[in-house]
Structure 1
């Protein structure tokens, strides 16, 4: 799946290209599933190019999440063999060939072995979203028993953030709509507050003085920052969404990086994966339209 120009879903193109060969330290994966994420829409529209995230080029590939089976390994690769079930993250935005393809080549360090019980389609929702959640929580650094606000708690990144944080002992205050309250409680949320109204007041009613940290998966910015205690931590998930460091708050932006070892641990942890639906690769434009329409519960996944 490639684009040759920026625009709407009509610019998406299925291209016939030679099968990529793995170089030294790389793994070739026969793709079983590839997730569709907001970053794919931002690539297609030109938003990432406009933000200087990748250099201009004639052809751009799409897709960050991939799962499937190892097809070939390059020189010097250890720990992977043909037939292994794996997932991986293609975290370089400007490549001509990425994960939404029949075959994908990734650095071995970006690839994780999968447990036998994890379905390959479900596994394709993990790399970008679960790694983003885990790396955001590293920055938030909430101690067991501490309090964490998670906005966008019903989304892919937000849901994994709630679950991973709760398992680590944090008391999670999740922002969600009323009909999703049971969902986020099932992920481990300690309190659920509504999206509408005075967010800071609702959070500070549950946690006097404010929460220790926030992971802002919904890009609420200062609305979420106002719920954090002075000297706490705030982690923005989307580029350009970090608010000013008011009241001595430590403000961070999580820039995702591939980490096969961490991904393997997340895959083995039995996290709650949510597949919103599957579509064939050729119908990727429909996946983009659904993603732009919003309110997807989980991730759409492309299959060959």
Structure 2
């Protein structure tokens, strides 16, 4: 079967299509004939060798988001017939490996049906970013009416964060560049402030005591910590442990722990069907153009996700 991966870690040009032995569904799992897989920022770290690869072997395959059709069902699996269209989370460099594959073996719990009236390409953008957004809200533990500040609101993770936060009854302050403001406003935040060095002052102008929580989807870190009130919560998406600011609780997202969070995947499916969150595809490209997708993602400015297809 074909996979997209790297034999030697490096830049986007290291990606290539490789032939590897075909995989099959084992006990408690299904095999998904992958039709589409999303390209996420975390994939670039796998490609570049920035993740622990000691449990994997070459070619190293990135990808945490896939969607396709069940074509094999392993022993002890019920309720998932061949032909079901599903979206799944994958774990690169461990277990069954990343999502840039023709066939993905997925344990029960790591996938669910794609949302109604949603294309397979759109569905492929939902699992990992959606689970990350849910985990962030759980870590913060905010109550209705409390204030959440969000950096990187125009990115797909930021989109889902803002939309879920509004559905939870939070007051949302989202950042945006001038160019992205129409998109960010369409997500429904209560306030939109300019992205950049003035973010903290802008948040404080709206909430003088500071926000109750800040989700740093744009990895601004020290620059934006002062936007929080004493006792506020800072949630980081890249493993930052914080700067020790007094009175601030620093939390880190670890979406790998959501690998078999079926109930949350179902929540995502229902959120898409109900219009709470809106999948956003930047462009669909053939899998052979993975290098281009990574190059364009790393260049910045993309809204939505590149989706690769076989």
Question: Which of 136-145 and 94-103 deviates more?
Answer: 94-103
Distance 1:110 1:298, change over 3 A: same
Which secondary structure does the structure 1 equivalent of 2:173 belong to? strand
Equivalent pairs counted in the alignment come to 300
| In structure 2, distance between residues paired with 1:283 and 1:251 | 38
Deviations 1:164-196 (A, max 9, x none): 011110011001112222222211211111112
Aligned pairs for 1:10-49 (under 5 A) are 10-49=13-52
Aligned pairs for 1:58-69 (under 5 A) are 58-69=58-69
Aligned pairs for 1:1-304 (under 5 A) are 1-49=4-52, 55=55, 57-94=57-94, 97-239=97-239, 241-256=240-255, 257-258=258-259, 259-270=261-272, 271-304=277-310
Cα distance, 1:74 vs. partner? Answer: 1.2
| In structure 1, distance between residues paired with 2:103 and 2:57 | 22
Q: State the TM-score, normalized to the length of structure 1.
A: 0.94
CA contact (8 A) 2:6 2:16 kept: yes
| In structure 2, distance between residues paired with 1:57 and 1:298 | 31
| In structure 1, distance between residues paired with 2:233 and 2:59 | 39
| In structure 2, distance between residues paired with 1:224 and 1:152 | 12
Q: State the TM-score, normalized to the length of structure 2.
A: 0.92
| In structure 1, distance between residues paired with 2:43 and 2:134 | 21
Cα distance, 1:96 vs. partner? Answer: 7.3
Which secondary structure does the structure 1 equivalent of 2:131 belong to? helix
Cα distance, 1:137 vs. partner? Answer: 0.9
Cα distance, 1:268 vs. partner? Answer: 1.9
Q: Which ranges of structure 1 fall in alignment gaps of 5 or more residues?
A: none
Q: What's the RMSD between the two structures over aligned residues? A: 1.6
| In structure 2, distance between residues paired with 1:224 and 1:39 | 22
CA contact (8 A) 1:152 1:218 kept: yes
Question: Which of 229-238 and 73-82 deviates more?
Answer: 73-82
| In structure 1, distance between residues paired with 2:9 and 2:265 | 31
